[in-house]
Chains A and B, each alone.
Chain A
Amino acid sequence: MNKTYNNKAWFFVLPVLLLVAFSAAIPLMTVVNYSVQDTFGNNEFFWAGTDWFDEILHSDRFWDALGRNLFFSFIILAIEIPLGIFIALNMPKKGIGVPVCLVLMALPLLIPWNVVGTIWQVFGRVDIGLLGRTLASLGIDYNYVRDPIDAWITVIVMDVWHWTSLVVLLCYAGLVSIPDAYYQAAKIDGASRWAVFRYIQLPKMKRVLLIAVLLRFMDSFMIYTEPFVVTGGGPGNSTTFLSIDLVKMAVGQFDLGPAAAMSIVYFLIILLLSWVFYTVMTSSDAEEGGRDDG
C-alpha cells in the first residue's frame, strides 16, 4: 500500500507545538537562562556558568528542605495508603450507602487547596479555632505557630484529611471490579478474612495502588499552597518545603539565579522519581498483561 505524503499535515500539528512551546518549553528555557547568569536588574546579565548550581548543591538550606520534603512524603504515604485501603474495604458495596459514601469521600477533593489551608489555619488557631480551643481546654499544649512538631502534625493531618479520599476512591474502584465468584470460592476454600485480603483483594488493587502511590508522592513532593497558608513555612524553617523555599528565594529575596538553578534541580528530581515509578509500573503491567491470556 502506498502511503500518501502530504506536508500540510505539519500544519495541523502546529497549534499543539505552539501551545507546548508557550506553556512548557519557553518558560523552561527562561529558567535555564536565569540559572546560568547573574542579573542586578536593568536587564543586564552576566554569565555565571554553573556557579548557582554549585551554590545550591552545597547549601544546607536546599538539602534541609529536600529532606523535609522526602520525610513529609514518606509520612503521608505511610498514613494515607493503609488508611485509604482500610476505608475502601469497609465501604458498602451496594445500596444507598454507596452514593452517600462516594460523595462524602469526594468532598475534600473538590475544595481548592488554598481554602483547605485556610480552613485548617482557622480550625487550629488557639484563640478562635475549634480544634485549637478544644485541645487547649483539654489541657493539651498545642500551638502550630510556635511549636515545630505541632506545625508538622497540623500539616500532615490536613494532608491526610484532604487526600486520603483519593486513595479510598482508587482502591474502591479496584475492589468493586473483583467478581463475586472470587469471594465465593474463598468461602468454599475456607479462607480467613486476612487470606481474602492478602490473596484476592490486595493483588486486584495492586495497579490502582501503584497509581495512588505515584499520585500522592508527586503531589506531596510538590506541596506548596496548604503549608504556605497555614504555617508560611514556619515556625523557623521547620515546614519550609522545597517549593516554599523556592518561592521565598525567587520572589522574596529576588535571587533569580539560585532560584532558577534550584528549580532545575527540583525538576530533575521529580523527573527522575517519576521515571522510576513509571518503570516499576509498566514492568509490573508487562508481567501481568504479557502472560495472562485467561
Chain B
Amino acid sequence: MASITLDQIRHAYNPNPVSDADYALREVDHEWVDGGAYALLGPSGCGKTTLLNIISGLLHPSHGRILFDGNDVTELSTQARNIAQVFQFPVIYDTMTVYDNLAFPLRNRKVPEAEVDRRVREMLDIIDLADWSKRKARGLTADQKQKISLGRGLVRNDVNAILFDEPLTVIDPHMKWVLRSQLKRLHKKFGFTMVYVTHDQTEALTFADKVVVMFEGQIVQIGTPAELFEKPRHTFVGYFIGSPGMNIMPVRLEGNAVLLGQERLDLVAAPSVNPADRLQVGIRPEFIRLGQSGLPVTVTRVEDIGRRKIVRAELQGQPIAAVVNEDTEIPTDAHVSFDPAGLNLYANSWRVEERA
C-alpha cells in the first residue's frame, strides 16, 4: 500500500495542445494518503477516467509526475507500478474457470503454485464464489463477473492501490448495495489505498472518506461529504451535489450586504471581492425556511418525494427550490427566509471564504 502524489499533472489527448480547452486534465496537484478511500466524482467527460488511467500507468501524462510513497513512477509501466484496477464493464477471461481467472495475475508474476492456491482459495471465500471455482467464468452474472475483476486485483496482496472506474454501472440496484458494503468491509480489512471513480453522488458520498469533485479537467474541491454539502467551494459542487442542487442566484454587493433583486441579505462581514467579479449567492434547499415572513416568493410547483416535499418557487424572477417536511403547510402568501449558516457567497463561481 502506498500514498500517491500527483505533481502538477496535465494531460491532453491532442499531441499539440495550445489552449486550456485542449487539455482533458488542466492541472492536478494532489496527494492521496496511504490507506484512504477516495471517490472521484464528476460529470461525464470531466477527466476522471483520464486521471485514473494516469495513476495506473495506462496513460502517460503530457506533463507532471506521479509518485508512489515519494518515488517517481511516471516512467514505470502499469505492471511495474503494481496497481489493481476494476473497470466499468467486468473484464473476465471467458475461457478460464473462476479459479484460473483469480490465479492469472499471480501466475503471470511467477508466484509458486502452492502460494497461488492458498491465496486464490482465500480470495474465493472473500468474494463468496468458492462454490463456483471450477465453473467457466463465461456463464456468470454481471455482479459475479465484477467480483472476479475485483478479486483479481485483491489477490495480489502487495498492490499499491486499487482503482475503480465506475465499477457498479452495470450492476442491478440491489446488488450495488451488497457489493458496495462488501467493498467497504474489504477496505477496512486490507487497508488499501482506494480511488473510486463515479458520477453517482450517492455512491461517492456513502463510500469515501474524502470526495474529490472534478469539473472540466480540474479538481474543484476535495472534502468530506459534510464539507461538500455545507461549504461547496465552487458553484458546480453546489449544483452537482445534493438533490435538488444548490440555489444559485446573481447578486450585487452593497457594503455588508448583498442585493438580490430588490431584497437585502445581510452578511456577517464585508467580503473581500473585486468589484468586477461576478457575484452569486448559493443556498441549499435544505437551508431555506418557508413561512409568513422573509422574502416574498411565488410558489410554482410542489413535488412530494415521500417524507419531504420540494417546493419550487420564484424569488425576484429567479427559480429557487426549497426542501420542507411533508407536513409543512404551504402558505398562500409564501415567504422564505435563509439560514445564515447555509449562505455562501461566490465570486466568479468560486466561494468567497469568510475572514477569520
Contact = CB atoms under 8 A, between A and B. Distances in A.
Interface of A: 179, 181-182, 184-185, 187-192, 195, 199-200, 203, 288, 291-294
Contact of B104 (A182, A184, A187, A191): A191
Nearest to A192: B108
B88 A181 contact: yes
- Most chain B CB within 10 A, of A181, A188, A195, A294, is at A188
Interface of B: 53, 56, 58, 77-79, 83-85, 87-91, 93-96, 104-105, 108-109, 138-142, 144-145, 149, 152-153, 170
A283 to B, nearest CB: 15
Given A292-B138, A294-B141, A188 B108 contact: no
A294 B138 CA distance: 8
B108 A185 contact: no
Contacts of B58: 184, 187
Contact of A199 (B56, B95, B170): B95
Nearest to B155: A189
Given A188-B56, A294-B142, A181 B152 contact: no
- Most chain B CB within 10 A, of A184, A189, A200, A292, is at A189
Contacts of A190: 79, 105, 108-109
Given A184-B53, A187-B78, A291-B138, 16 more contacts: A181-B88, A184-B85, A185-B87, A185-B91, A187-B79, A188-B78, A188-B79, A190-B105, A190-B109, A191-B108, A199-B96, A199-B104, A203-B95, A294-B90, A294-B142, A294-B145
Nearest to B170: A294
Nearest to B78: A187
B105 to A, nearest CB: 4
Given A187-B79, A188-B83, A199 B93 contact: yes
Nearest to B137: A294
B139 A189 contact: no
A182 B91 contact: yes
B79 A185 contact: no
B93 A184 contact: no
A64 B177 CA distance: 68
Nearest to B95: A203
Contacts of A199: 93, 95-96, 104
Question: Which 10 A/B pairs are nearest by Cβ-Cβ distance?
Answer: A291-B139, A190-B108, A185-B91, A189-B105, A294-B142, A181-B87, A187-B78, A199-B93, A190-B79, A203-B95
A126 B28 CA distance: 69
Contacts of A182: 91
A195 B109 CA distance: 12
Nearest to B85: A188
A200 B87 contact: no
8 contacts: A184-B56, A187-B78, A188-B85, A189-B105, A190-B79, A195-B104, A293-B142, A294-B145
Nearest to A190: B108
Contact of B140 (A185, A187, A192, A294): A294
